[in-house]
Amino acid sequence: MSDGILAFPSILHTVPSLKATLALALVASLCYVLPFFCAKMSSTRMATLFRLVPSFAILAFLYVVISDPHIARDIFVNNGAIFSSRKDYFIKNQSILRGRAITASQYNDKWRNHRRIAGQFMTPKAVAGFANEIDYEAHILMQTFYTETAKGAGPVSPQHDTVRYALNVMLIMALGIRTEAASHPFVDRTLELTLEFNDLTGPLSNIEDFITPLQWFNTNLKKRGRKLHDAFIEVYGALLLEVKAKMDNGEDVPDCLAKTLLLTREQEGLDWEDMCMLIAVFVLGGVHSTAGIIQWFMALLPAHPEVQRRAHEELDAVVGQDSWPTAEDEARLPYCRAIIKEVLRVHAPFWMATPHYSTEDFVYKGYFIPKSTSIVLNCYTLHHDERRYPDAHAFSPERYIDDHLSCADSAKLSNVMERDHWTFGAGRRICPGMAVAERELWLAISRILWSFTVHEMPNEPISLEEYEGQSGRTPKPFRVRLIPRHDRVHSLLQSRDEISL
């Protein structure tokens, strides 16, 4: 056995003896219950479990859990041609996303095509094209915080506002629209659908995947999966039709994914479901993940006054109090950047990323990994590896102070021990939304630091251990006081005109 990966016992791929069959049955029945526990466990507890169980089988399904950075690179990056597919889960992939939305596509031409088309709206160039709109949404987020906290007097619950911030950026890029207020009914509807998606799609799948006959019955899970699929088509289809109506009327529609899809539909060979699901994935992939990091940042700050103090000193020295940080200031504010990387490390929204799936038999350093094995990137253990992150359980932005690379560039480093973290996954399926997420995080977090000091509410301790049940990514709901740091905050927040889309 090599460190970080456990090869499967040969009984899993040779004719089993009676003893071996019994052993397999035992392993299988023990492991069989694992996904149900996982679905009910907080991410932290789940990650702890996976440190203990580096690889396992659930009935006939094989899982390899990778917890070593060198092996992660060898498998996901160097052998990406073999380890870049997705398992065709019954509920997630077959019932809800129907092999679409990039993330549910197997490693084939459809995936390549969809990733290329939607990817145009996620690249650094696309981010530059939407710079003004993202900046505006970050401005609105600060304004909302300022109004809600009533100049520091009242508590703010960051959950809804951060979600709306991330949602608006996704809606602008995908559909050229935004919501005017967090109370807009569309905010609740899309979030309801996203939470239902998270609830139905655990990282290791559902019971229907392991007991095939269950797929023949109209189980509650199956009904919910189908209903959710129909809701995605209804909600995102209606929005696509609105964009189409505007284009048909000759109205000026801003550049966005929907416009591109409608214009190139025939030449790209896209059907209506392809288009709806490509829009949906922006909301599914890009809202709770990004909003969750901002929430974790706000939850962590009151417990780390020295981090706030150092960030304020850096901001005052580099940008001053007359204006707040912009995208262009990022390179000049290494400590603020380091805080973001450290939050991404300690609270990765997906502790097991999204499992990849192998499409060929493979022998890795003498260990056989059969075709059709799920490969899990164990971010929790990777992020707590003392060789890479000394005092790994401490929240310590200093560890990234000399890291000047974007997350996307860091993922390309040949020395894997220098890579910042694995929060965005690895290899050919690595998150294509990294550049967008990084810009959103930068503008929100650097401006919260510039504008406020963040305090815990008296008698309302913030839990840094537990995760909110349905999202599994965000902290449990909490409230903070945001005290404006100086008078300029008020005047700067009033200074911006509305943008028109």
Beta carbon of residue 288, minimum distance to ligand HEM (angstroms, whole number): 9
Instruction: List, in order, residues 6 or more apart from 422 with CB less than 8 Å away.
Output: 69, 72, 348, 353, 377, 379, 382, 383
Q: Radius of gyration over alpha carbons of the chain, in Å?
A: 23
- The residue range among 12-20, 249-257, 279-287, 388-396 that interacts with ligand HEM, by the rule CB under 6 A, is 279-287
Residues 461-500: x where in contact with ligand HEM by CB under 6 A, - otherwise, as a string: ----------------------------------------
- AA letter at 440: E
If one asks whether residue 89 binds ligand HEM (CB under 6 A), the answer comes out as no
Specify the stretch interacting with ligand HEM by CB under 6 A; choose among 13-21, 91-99, 224-232, 277-285.
Answer: 277-285
In the complex with ligand HEM, which residue's Cβ is closer, 176 or 433?
A: 433
Query: Angle at Cα 165 formed by Cα 126 and Cα 100, nearest 5°?
Result: 60
User: Which amino acid is present at 374?
Assistant: S
Q: List the x/- string, 332-371, binding to ligand HEM by CB under 6 A.
A: -----------------xx--xx-x---------------
Residue ranges at the known binding site for heme: 431
**Distances in Å between the alpha carbon of 265 and those of 117, 259, 261, 277, 366?**
11, 10, 5, 14, 47
β-sheet bridge partners, residue 483: 453
Please pick, from the candidates 341, 429, 439, 485, the single residue that binds ligand HEM as defined by CB under 6 A. 429
Question: Is there binding between residue 437 and ligand HEM (CB under 6 A)?
Answer: yes
Q: Which of 56, 232, 282, 442 binds ligand HEM (CB under 6 A)?
A: 282
Nearer to ligand HEM, 333 or 426 (CB): 426
72 touches ligand HEM (CB under 6 A): no
Q: Rule CB under 6 A: is residue 424 a binding residue for ligand HEM?
A: yes
Question: Distance between terminal CA atoms of the chain?
Answer: 57
Stretch that binds ligand HEM, among 23-31, 257-265, 288-296, 318-326 (CB under 6 A): 288-296
Q: Can you tell me the distance from the alpha carbon of 241 to that of 272, in angstroms, rounded to the nearest whole number?
A: 11
Query: CB of residue 102 vs ligand HEM: minimum separation in angstroms?
Result: 4
What is the Cα–Cα distance from 349 to 239, expressed in whole angstroms?
28
Out of 140, 430, 454, 480, point to the residue binding ligand HEM (CB under 6 A): 430
Q: Which residues of 295-317 are buried (b: 16+ CB within 10 A; e: fewer)?
A: bbbbbbbbebeebbebbbebbee
**Strand 61-66 vs strand 373-377: parallel, antiparallel, or unpaired?**
parallel
Given CA atoms 195, 220, 279, 347 in this order, what sign does their dihedral have?
Answer: positive
Q: Nearer Cβ to ligand HEM, position 10 or 108?
A: 108
Cα–Cα–Cα angle for 267, 273, 276, nearest 5°? Answer: 95
Number of residues that bind ligand HEM (CB under 6 A): 28
DSSP element (H, E) containing 93: none
Q: From the CB of 207, what's the least distance to ligand HEM, in Å? A: 23
Q: How many CA atoms lie within 13 A of 47 on its CB side?
A: 25
Q: In which element (H, E) is residue 314 found?
A: helix 305-318
Stretch that binds ligand HEM, among 140-148, 229-237, 285-293, 443-451 (CB under 6 A): 285-293
Q: What is the contact surface with ligand HEM in residues (CB under 6 A)?
A: 102-103, 115, 122, 281-282, 285-286, 289-290, 293, 349-350, 353-354, 356, 423-427, 429-433, 436-437
